[in-house]
Structure 1
Amino acid sequence: MKIVFKILVTSMLLCIFANAKTLKDGSLTVATEGTYSPFSYYNEKHKLVGYDVDIARAIADELGLKINFVTAPWDAILAAFDAGKADTVLNQVSITDERKKKYDYTEPYTVAYAALVVRADNEEIKGFDDLKGKKSAHSATSNWAKMASRYGAQIVTVDGFSKGVELVITKRADATINDNVTYFDYMKQRPKAPLKIIANSSEPIYTAAIVKKDNTELLNQMDEALKSLRKKGVLKEISIRYFGEDVSE
């Protein structure tokens, strides 16, 4: 029954996407989740908002296009996009070698780094190497848990970043690792939380929009729009609005 239900849900979502307009109509159709705060979500007025949503709106404005959004779970988004029902996807899509084989990426609009987070009064941990023998709070199967383990940390299993930093604050864990954008969002909501980033990795994590490999025209247009928005300071403005920090470059 579960398989049948998933097939029915996916079919319904593809029908929704099938009504999406295209660039030929003078509009840009953007696929996004709508349940991924603070990047793409519905607010209390049931308006689609978020960092990625505002970036998408800014791109459309820069190109003089109307914008249409279609929202669905992540797997359904990619299925619909692959079927040609949306022009692009903006949903914190990280740039990976595997995805590069299938899609083209625009210029990055988010640059994140792995951040080592500790209590504000912690003077013992000064870098990733100091995690050896310490307790680091993570979801059991996350890449961050694997990273902490490589540095010799003892993993304390939690459900997500918020739970992890709660353990750090209450001294039931010594540290946690996540991307710095997630940390900035948390601190924007809880500015008095006794936490600090003690170290960042040197390896950047890039986020960009994806387009079809045969849609070079759109790719070039979106790249030019993003360059212009960066030069005008619009990307920085949107970033600070959501995170209190510039994570656009």
Structure 2
Amino acid sequence: MKKFLALSFAALTALSAASLDEIKKAGVIKIATEGVYKPYSYHDESNALVGYDVEIARAVAEKIGVKVQFIEAPWDALLASFDAGKSDAMFNQVTIKDERKKKYDFSTPYTAVYPAVVVKEENNSIKSKADVKGKKGASSATSVYGTTLSEWGAQVQTVSGFNQAVELVLAGRAELLMNDDVTFYDFIKNKKVPLKIAFKGQEPMLSAAIVAKGNTELLSAINAALDELFKDGTIAKISQKYFGKDISK
């Protein structure tokens, strides 16, 4: 049975990105993930790293024939460490955007969700994109959701991630946050908080793994693994486990 190793953010400086040949020779692929982004990447009651992205990353590593070493950090720090070559790939709900394609190579998408604007239950002033202009929002600095809110005219306060954004909205220090609908539904299922979805986008947002630009052999190996996992039903099974439905397509 394969062992899956976790690595603290403090140890990032000891790492470097690798080619597919180097990964296979070492027998380990370094995967970047937040570890605090439920239900995609988080620690359960026994402190084990679990989640939709985590299990898919493990399944991909197994198909490639290597162990996986997870590197965990808050989203903005995680991206910075990835940009510095501290991990080989990232499985952490990275939304596919044209601007990001200039910087990263994306795998075959394995998630399709809808963006949702979340507010306090008593807030009835935000019902559409037009209502976001001038409002106080909360988002991590490099999140696609924060970028979208800024483009819509919101005043975005930078936070470390989804949980902190929720705290600011609940405390009245922000009026709204934006994330995918699945994350919000999972959050309110486990915590009774006075929040609601004000409105959702009509077009799905696709997420995938990323590798460094030009690391084509590794990207091809990840895509081949994902293709097998789609065909044998593994990804659908993982999705059913965490969401009760298939969000992979």
TM-score using structure 2 length: 0.66
Measured in 2, the distance between the counterparts of 1:226 and 1:19 equals 20
Give secondary structure in 2 for the equivalent of 1:92. Answer: strand
Letter in 2 for 1:109: Y
1:229 matches 2:233: no
Give secondary structure in 2 for the equivalent of 1:90. Answer: strand
Consecutive unaligned residues of structure 2, counting only runs of 5 or more, are: 1-7
**Superposed displacement of residue 239, structure 1:** 2.7
Aligned to 1:52: 53
**Superposed displacement of residue 222, structure 1:** 1.7
Letter in 2 for 1:162: V
Aligned to 2:116: 115
8 Å Cα contact 1:128-1:199 kept in structure 2: yes
Q: Which has the larger radius of gyration?
A: 1
Letter in 2 for 1:209: A
CA shift digits 1:199-247 (9 cap, x unpaired):
4213333221122344323322321322332233322332343344533
Alignment of 1:131-210 (within 5 A): 131=131, 138-139=137-138, 142-143=146-147, 145-146=149-150, 149=153, 160-163=164-167, 166=170, 177-190=178-191, 197=197, 199-210=199-210
Question: What is the CA RMSD across the aligned residues, in angstroms?
Answer: 4.2
Aligned to 2:102: 101
CA shift digits 1:6-55 (9 cap, x unpaired):
xxx99952324589994333745032145433233444544322222111
Cα distance change, pair 156–60 in 1 and its aligned pair in 2 (3 A): closer
Measured in 2, the distance between the counterparts of 1:231 and 1:53 equals 19
Cα distance change, pair 244–219 in 1 and its aligned pair in 2 (3 A): same
Aligned to 1:14: 13
Measured in 1, the distance between the counterparts of 2:166 and 2:12 equals 31
8 Å Cα contact 2:32-2:82 kept in structure 1: yes
Give secondary structure in 1 for the equivalent of 2:113. Answer: strand
CA shift digits 1:46-74 (9 cap, x unpaired):
4322222111011123x251322141431
CA shift digits 1:83-135 (9 cap, x unpaired):
xxx4322223232333322332101122232224467899x7895168479x9
Consecutive unaligned residues of structure 1, counting only runs of 5 or more, are: 1-8
Aligned residues: 226
Give secondary structure in 2 for the equivalent of 1:93. Answer: strand
Measured in 2, the distance between the counterparts of 1:244 and 1:91 equals 20
Aligned to 1:77: 82
CA shift digits 1:154-182 (9 cap, x unpaired):
x79796442366479xxx99875432132
TM-score using structure 1 length: 0.66
Once the two structures are aligned, what percentage of the paired residues are identical? 35
Give secondary structure in 1 for the equivalent of 2:115. Answer: strand
**Superposed displacement of residue 145, structure 1:** 4.2
Aligned to 1:23: 23
